[in-house]
């Protein structure tokens, strides 16, 4: 974690004049959070919305880092103040990964929202969430912080039980294909016992509390926030998340605005972490949706 912080600060020192990027720490003394603030690169009024980026979880967050950075830079060039940040127990923020939970991360998002308003003076704020970050944003929206004007959700996780099983399957696959472990049984044989491989997802801890909270995320009980915030969903309809979203939409088809983006990028493959792929169509769609609130 410290290595990433050192690299970020070095980048800041070298390129601050060109990029207006500032590493920051904020939050309570016992829950300090690390963030990257991108100041607007064009003159803008405080009426232009600022943007908080809500990261994904675990390996997906690592593999989406380049996308998050590219999005932040593009939005800053368009005159938006942007804050990327690490939830408690992730990245360079305080805490261990076993300390992470959805309620705590929702509180971190609310803290980031207030910090960005303080730094930028923006009246309105847009949240952009990817994968589990979109789920965190939905959870935090029920508090309805002052100034929140729009949610932009990319492939939100709406079925927590299936997502947990997906993480378990990916963990087992990684053990089989990547790591040379002296196991008596093949990981896939062990995985037949559903009580195995439940506390870790490819190097990231899943606490009992986190698992319980995710298990409670369900398409059957899902309800969109009732406050007047705009909700835009960027979805790939052929994905499992697209299927979940379609089922949710049946109940309330007019609540959200839908953008179909067939980006074709699998952020969970072992090769995705070593490639610079940034889905241009997703990048453009999200940037456009932020700009519409200006």
Write down the residue that tokens 């920051």 correspond to.
Answer: 24
Average pLDDT of the chain?
Answer: 86
pLDDT band for position 79 (cuts 50, 70, 90): very high
Question: Which pLDDT belongs to residue 170?
Answer: 86
The residue ranking higher by pLDDT, 91 or 277, is 91
Q: How do residues 225-246 score in pLDDT, each as one tens digit?
A: 988 899 999 999 988 999 999 9
Q: Which CATH superfamily is domain 2-158+221-291 in?
A: Alpha/Beta hydrolase fold, catalytic domain (3.40.50.1820)
The model's confidence at residue 11, banded by pLDDT at 50, 70 and 90, is: very low
- Taking the C-alpha atoms of residue 265 and residue 154, their distance in angstroms, rounded to an integer, is 13
Which residue intervals of 143-226 are DSSP H helices?
A: 160-177, 187-190, 208-215
Residue span(s) of the chain under CATH 3.40.50.1820 come to 2-158+221-291
User: In the predicted model, is pLDDT for residue 2 greater than 50?
Assistant: no
| 251-270: average pLDDT | 81
- Check: CB of residue 200 under 8 Å from CB of residue 171: yes
pLDDT tens readout for residues 138-159: 999 988 789 999 999 999 999 9
Reply yes or no on whether the pLDDT at 263 is more than 50.
yes
Place of tokens 């200006």: 294
249-285: burial string, b at 16+ Cβ within 10 Å, e else = beeeeeebeebebebebebbeeebeeeeebbeebbeb
């Amino acid at each position: 974690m410290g290595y990433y912080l050192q690299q970020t600060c070095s980048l800041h020192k070298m390129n601050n004049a060109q990029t207006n990027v500032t590493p920051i720490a904020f939050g309570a003394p016992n829950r300090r959070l690390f963030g990257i603030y991108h100041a607007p690169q064009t003159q803008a009024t405080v009426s232009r919305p600022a943007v908080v980026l809500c990261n994904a979880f675990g390996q997906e967050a690592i593999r989406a880092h380049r996308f998050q950075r590219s999005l932040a830079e593009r939005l800053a060039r368009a005159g938006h103040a942007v804050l990327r940040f690490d939830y408690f127990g992730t990245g360079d923020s305080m805490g261990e990964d076993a300390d992470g939970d959805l309620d705590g991360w929702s509180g971190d998002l609310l803290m980031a929202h207030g910090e960005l308003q303080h730094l930028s003076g923006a009246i309105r704020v847009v949240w952009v969430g990817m994968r589990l970050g979109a789920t965190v944003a939905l959870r935090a929206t029920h508090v309805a912080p002052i100034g929140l004007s729009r949610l932009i959700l990319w492939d939100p996780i709406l079925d927590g039980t299936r997502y947990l099983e997906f993480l378990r399957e990916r963990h087992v696959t990684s053990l089989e294909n990547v790591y040379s472990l002296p196991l008596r049984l093949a990981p896939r044989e062990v995985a037949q016992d559903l009580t195995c491989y439940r506390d870790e997802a490819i190097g990231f801890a899943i606490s009992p509390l986190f698992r319980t909270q995710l298990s409670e995320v369900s398409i059957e009980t899902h309800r969109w926030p009732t406050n007047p915030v705009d909700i835009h969903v960027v979805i790939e309809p052929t994905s499992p998340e697209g299927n979940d979203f379609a089922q949710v939409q049946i109940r309330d088809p007019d609540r959200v605005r839908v953008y179909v983006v067939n980006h074709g990028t699998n952020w969970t493959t072992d090769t995705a972490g070593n490639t610079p792929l940034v889905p241009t169509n997703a990048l453009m769609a999200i940037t456009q949706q932020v700009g519409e609130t200006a």
